Amino acid sequence: MVATFLMAILLIILLGIYMYNWSLNTVKNEIINSSTAQVSFYLESLEDEVERIKILQYDSLNDEYLAKLAIRHSIMNEYDTVESMRKLQQRLVTIHNSSSYIANVSVHILSIQKTISSTTSVSPIDMDKFEHLRVPEGEKGAQLVKYKDKLYLTTLHAGKAGISQMYLIEVEINTTALQEALGQFRTYADSGTFLIDLTHNVVIPGKGNNDAVLLEDLTENDLKLESGNIGYSKINGQNIYVVSVKSNYLNMLLLRYIPQNLIFVPVQSFYIWLWIFTGVGLMIIVLYFVYTYNLIHKPMRKLVGSFRQVESGNFNVHIPVNKKNEFGYLYKGFNSMVQNVSALIDQVYKQKILNQKAELKQLQSQISPHLLYNSLFLINTMARLGDENLIAFTKLLGDYFQFVTRNASDYLPLYQEVEHARTYTDIQLMRFPSRLTIHFEDCPDAVRDIQVPRLIIQPIIENAFKYAVEKTKDKGIVSISFRLDDRALRIIVEDNGAHLSDETLVSVHKLFYDNTNIETSGLINIHRRIRLIYGDENGLSLERSSMGGLKVTLRLNPKAGV
């Protein structure tokens, strides 16, 4: 037992040492990686900003007023010359104000021997500066130019007429703004940043740098200043980590240094407390594990296992109750819940089936032959006049009422329902031959044999006749079409009725979902029947037709039907 205890203590000590070293390296790597990411992001942002400034600079080469001053100055009057200078200076001021890294924007126009600046207006051209700011041939990247310890971005337009029309646009870099931006990396005391222009050996220190740390001190230990390099230096007995990132576009190197002692500060007190918490925590964990395993884990596993059996559909689960604690109360509640759920499922399922059948029969019973009276009067008139269409009309009427009064089955193939609707339209055509036009598509072969409820299409067409023919003086048009995709079959009935208001359309649509309304007829009747059989996502939808009347879309899912 003593040996086992000593081995356990030794393992804890080794684990503590490992965790301490791991924490130390993790903190160091996180700080260094974070520093590398920050300087990399800043350099990328600086590259983007310089590139944006150069784009504005190149775009200014084509400035209308700059071209006038450089090429047409000899034929311009004094007013045009002054106005062009003013307009050009306004553009330079706009470029100047677009970035905090710009100290000044100037245009040197050789033909008029003038320099127009965003800060000093118009002045005589400085030929020495003009010659020094011209970018050497073949230089790539940002093409930064150094003149009198300042950095510039320049671009030259030679002109088609030679040297006489040359002009140069310069952007002076604001080194003070760069120093302030570099100062944001001084998140630790005695840390700092240097931005080094490798082309011109210009060193820009960050604002707030430790004056005791110089660039020469950082590089005295043969530190390689390369992109992504993490080096190590020693200054006045103090260990310092140096992170360097290079921009090939700017040919600049961003150097950030952090004292080692700042990196290890967060983990100094951790070393002592690590051992204390390790020992105490291990003891608590062992005791807590034993206690919770017997008090909670085992009873909880039994309860979870019973719930999983219920999820799989087994409602005959029963948990024995042996203790009078919280789990004993839960076990009793679980057993009672399973019994009640089982009884309710059986009761609700049966009641729902009976209610659906009763409501379906009630809805179907409300459909009656609306044409009976008008058709009998029409037959009487045709018989008195000796109309030759009497036989055909009575045949259609007989087929119509035979279908309506047939109760052999509540469902029938879709093509029979469509033929019944077509019979109805033929009857209406004979009643109103001069006032009615019917466009009736054929039933798609893919769904002609699916089983559907009786009388779901003809009442929709009857509603269309009511508003397209009986309530309008113009010629009525009724269109019946079919649309089939992978998810649903849509039967669309449209008319050109002119008496449908937006208020009526909204009020009828609301009645579709008003379950408190017991009286149902027409479109509401069909909508409720379809939803009962095929589900709530099916049924009727109303909108205004492109012909001006009502467009009714009957949607049903053949896969969810009978």
389 belongs to a structural domain: yes
In degrees and rounded to multiples of 5, residue 14 shows phi and psi of -65, -40
Give the distance, in angstroms, between the CA of residue 135 and the centroid of all CA atoms in the same chain.
46
**pLDDT(463) > 80:** yes
User: Per the structure block, which two tokens stand in for 462?
Assistant: 């009857």
Question: Sign of dihedral through CA atoms 71, 72, 78, 80?
Answer: negative
Sheet order of strands, 114-117 included = 121-124, 114-117, 102-109, 167-173, 150-157, 144-147
Residue 384: which domain range? 366-560
**CB of 467 within 8 A of CB of 478?**
no
276 belongs to a structural domain: no
Question: CA–CA separation, 555 vs 543, rounded Å?
Answer: 14
Q: Give the pLDDT band of residue 367 (cuts 50, 70, 90).
A: very low
Structure confidence at residue 440 (pLDDT): 93
348 belongs to a structural domain: no
Give, as one character, the DSSP assignment of residue 228.
T
**pLDDT(355) > 60:** no
Mean pLDDT of 122-138: 80
**CB of 363 within 8 A of CB of 355?**
no
Final residue in a domain of this structure, among 169, 185, 203: 169
161 belongs to a structural domain: yes
Structure confidence at residue 350 (pLDDT): 55
382-408 pLDDT, tens digit per residue, is: 888 888 888 888 888 888 878 877 756
Mean pLDDT of 530-541: 86
Mean pLDDT of 539-553: 89
191 belongs to a structural domain: no
Q: Give the pLDDT band of residue 354 (cuts 50, 70, 90).
A: very low
Q: What is the CATH number of the domain that holds 446?
A: 3.30.565.10
Question: CA–CA separation, 100 vs 96, rounded Å?
Answer: 8
**pLDDT(358) > 60:** no
**pLDDT(362) > 50:** no
Mean pLDDT of 536-559: 88
**CB of 337 within 8 A of CB of 319?**
no
**CB of 102 within 8 A of CB of 53?**
yes
Mean pLDDT of 179-198: 79
**CB of 330 within 8 A of CB of 303?**
yes
53 belongs to a structural domain: no
At 193, which amino acid appears?
T
**pLDDT(250) > 70:** yes
The residue with tokens 């269409």 is 389
49 belongs to a structural domain: no
Q: Has this prediction a pTM greater than 0.85?
A: no
Question: CA–CA separation, 268 vs 454, rounded Å?
Answer: 84
Final residue in a domain of this structure, among 141, 169, 197: 169
Give, as one character, the DSSP assignment of residue 344.
H
The string over 87-114, giving b where at least 16 C-beta atoms fall within 10 Å of a residue's C-beta and e elsewhere, is ebbebbeebbeebebbbbbbbbbbbbeb
Number of domains comprising the chain: 2
Mean pLDDT of 186-214: 76
Q: Is 143 left (phi over 0), alpha (psi -120 to 50) or beta?
A: left
306 belongs to a structural domain: no
Cβ-based neighbours of 61, under 8 Å, separated by 6 or more: 155, 157, 169
The residue with tokens 């001053």 is 69
Question: Mean pLDDT, the chain, as a whole number?
Answer: 78
**pLDDT(366) > 50:** no
81-107 pLDDT, tens digit per residue, is: 888 888 988 988 998 898 888 999 999
**pLDDT(336) > 50:** yes
Question: Sign of dihedral through CA atoms 278, 279, 284, 290?
Answer: positive
Mean pLDDT of 184-190: 74
Question: CA–CA separation, 372 vs 419, rounded Å?
Answer: 19
32-76 pLDDT, tens digit per residue, is: 777 778 888 888 888 898 889 888 888 888 888 888 888 888 888
Mean pLDDT of 514-531: 71
- Top-confidence residue, 31 or 543: 543
Cβ-based neighbours of 186, under 8 Å, separated by 6 or more: 192, 193, 206, 207, 208, 209
Give, as one character, the DSSP assignment of residue 164.
G
Sheet order of strands, 192-197 included = 202-205, 192-197, 252-259, 238-247, 229-235
Structure confidence at residue 371 (pLDDT): 63
Final residue in a domain of this structure, among 142, 169, 196: 169
Question: Which helix H or strand E contains 335, and what residues bound it?
Answer: helix 326-365
**pLDDT(159) > 70:** no
